[in-house]
Structure formats: C-alpha cells, structure tokens
C-alpha cells in the first residue's frame, strides 16, 4: 500500500486479464473480417493501427491474440500446476518407492527440451490449440512437481507436521490442510512463471506455424507472417513484437513481485 506506482506489475497484470476477458464486448472490429481492397491501409480513425495484408483490423487482431495467448497460458499452467503439484506433494509426503518413482519420471520428461517435446506432439497429433494446451501442460508438469517436492521436503520436517500426525490426522488431511497451505507461496510463484514461459513457447510454435492455426489471431503467427512483408509494412511486424514483449515483461515482473512477497526472509515481525 506504500505506493501504487511500485506495484505496477500487479496493476498491469490485472489490466491484461480484464482486456482478455472483455475482448468480445469491446467496440472493435471483427478480427477475422477481411477487406482485400484496403490491404496494408495506414492508421485511420476506424482502424487506429491500420490494416494487415488481408485488410483486417490490426488493433482488433492484437487484442484477440492477447486473449488467446492468455487463455492458453492460464489453461496450460492450471492443468500442469494441478497435476504437477499433486504429484510433488504425494511423492514428497509418502517417501520411499512412490517418491523415487514420481521424481524419476519427471527426470525423464526433463530429458526433452520443451520445444522439442511440443514439436514431437505436433508431429503426432497435428497443430492447433487442442494439441497445444495438453502438450504445454505436460512440458511444465515436472517444474511444478520439483517445486512442490522441494517445498514439501522442508515443510515435512517441521514439527507442526509431526504435531498433526500426533493428533491423529490422516495422510489426506495433512497433505491438504497442513502441507498445501504452507507451500502455496512457491507454487503460486511457479504458476506465474510457467504462465510467462508458456506464452513464450506458444508464440514460438505459432511463429513456426506449428501452434495456433491461421486465420485465428496469434501473436507468434502475426510475427511469422509479418516477416514476409518486412520491407513493405514493417509495422505489421513491430506491433505484435511489442505486444508480446510487453505481455511477457508484465508476467515476469508480476512473478518477481510474487516471489518477493512470498519470500520467507521478507516476513515481517516474528513476535519476539
């Protein structure tokens, strides 16, 4: 509360979420409506950022592309977060063979660089959002598992976990009610981080033409096609580059802010 200015990442993050949610309600053109007559038209009142190679509204396409990037990022991060955290907590809490098995299987997934794993999946299942979300989720499951596992390792040796066992709490209750609330911080940080990385990965795949399929608006795709008309209409390339960079910058800054917030060393007042 010291200064709203200092917390610009959170403010901008909320703006991005609002923009994505409200995209269908905004008074902007249909992002798919073509008008060949006005290809590469310069900015005008009706089209503030001009029109692209098919005469579509660039502004509207940027907003919708942002929406799709956010949607994919949040869905994939939620999916992998849920699976990865559950595996990490169960593995970390039960120890023994279960622990070895979960952590080793994560090591195996980690042997594949993320982009390659995604490309293998695209080869098998074909491109498109429906392939993209589960694949991106799978790619980031190990990161959640590792974070959850590491946090459980520190938490499970705390005496309050023993205390919970000592009062007769079952494994499920301890994992959900005692451990989970105490490792939520690192998991939320990881969630925001994975969101940022997912945006990068998704845009990369779309850039190569292996992600979101045209004509759906996607930042990576817009950059990819913009390269072809680099000399003719450089702004077609510059706009999506700017929006994508800004999006990732905000997500990263937001993640850093969360990390500081949850850093145990920043907890104020220990009461003694």
263 binds another protein (CB under 8 A): no
User: CA 51 to CA 40: how far, in whole Å?
Assistant: 5
User: CA 40 to CA 109: how far, in whole Å?
Assistant: 44
Contact 119, 126 (CB under 8 A): no
The one among 11, 21, 120, 228 contacting another protein by CB under 8 A: 120
Closer of 133 and 223 to another protein (Cβ): 223
Closer of 56 and 156 to another protein (Cβ): 156
261 binds another protein (CB under 8 A): no
The one among 98, 153, 241, 262 contacting another protein by CB under 8 A: 241
State the burial class of residue 19 (Cβ atoms within 10 Å of its Cβ: 0-12, 13-18, 19+): middle
User: CA 97 to CA 67: how far, in whole Å?
Assistant: 43
Give the interface size with another protein as a residue count (CB under 8 A): 62
Paired with 51 in beta bridges are 57
Tokens 């145990």 belong to residue: 264
- Which DSSP symbol is given to 128? S
3 binds another protein (CB under 8 A): no
The one among 208, 216, 229, 262 contacting another protein by CB under 8 A: 208
What does 202-243 look like in DSSP terms, one character per residue?
Answer: HHHHHHTTSSSPTTS--HHHHHHHHGGGTTT-THHHHHHHHH
95 binds another protein (CB under 8 A): no
User: CA 243 to CA 228: how far, in whole Å?
Assistant: 19
111 binds another protein (CB under 8 A): yes
231 binds another protein (CB under 8 A): yes
The region of 33-41, 84-92, 145-153, 228-236 touching another protein under the rule CB under 8 A is 228-236
Query: Per CB under 8 A, which of residues 136..195 are in contact with another protein?
Result: 158-160, 162-170, 173, 178, 181-182
- Measured CA to CA in angstroms, residue 235 lies from 59, 209, 229, 240 at distances of 12, 20, 10, 9
Compute the residue count for the chain. Answer: 272
The one among 144, 237, 257, 258 contacting another protein by CB under 8 A: 237
Closer of 86 and 164 to another protein (Cβ): 164
The region of 50-58, 68-76, 111-119, 144-152 touching another protein under the rule CB under 8 A is 111-119
Residues that bind another protein (CB under 8 A): 107-108, 111-116, 119-120, 122-126, 158-160, 162-170, 173, 178, 181-182, 196, 200, 203-204, 207-210, 220, 223, 226-227, 230-231, 234, 237-238, 241, 244-245, 248-249, 251-253, 256, 267, 269-272
């Amino acid at each position: 509360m010291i200064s709203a200015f200092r917390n610009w990442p959170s403010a901008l993050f909320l703006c991005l979420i609002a923009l994505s949610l409200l995209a269908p309600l905004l008074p902007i053109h249909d992002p798919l409506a073509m008008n060949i007559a006005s290809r590469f038209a310069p900015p005008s009142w009706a089209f503030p950022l001009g029109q692209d190679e098919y005469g579509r509204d660039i502004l509207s396409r940027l907003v919708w592309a942002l929406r799709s990037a956010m949607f994919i990022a949040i869905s994939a991060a939620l999916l992998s977060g849920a699976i990865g955290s559950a595996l990490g907590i169960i593995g970390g809490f039960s120890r023994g063979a279960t622990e070895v098995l979960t952590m080793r299987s994560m090591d195996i997934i980690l042997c594949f660089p993320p982009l390659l794993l995604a490309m293998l999946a695209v080869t098998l299942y074909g491109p498109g959002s429906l392939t993209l979300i589960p694949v991106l989720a799978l790619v980031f499951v190990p990161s959640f598992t590792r974070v959850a596992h590491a946090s459980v390792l520190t938490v499970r040796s705390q005496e309050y976990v023993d205390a919970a066992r000592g009062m007769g709490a079952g494994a499920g209750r301890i994992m959900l009610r005692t451990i989970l609330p105490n490792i939520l911080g690192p998991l939320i940080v990881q969630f925001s981080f994975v969101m940022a990385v997912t945006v990068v990965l998704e845009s990369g795949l779309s850039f190569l033409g292996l992600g979101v399929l045209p004509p759906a608006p996607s930042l990576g795709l817009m950059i990819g096609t913009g390269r072809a008309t680099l000399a003719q209409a450089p702004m077609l390339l510059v706009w999506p580059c700017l929006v994508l960079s800004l999006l990732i910058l905000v997500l990263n800054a937001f993640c850093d802010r969360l990390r500081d917030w949850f850093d145990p060393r920043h907890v104020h007042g220990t009461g003694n």
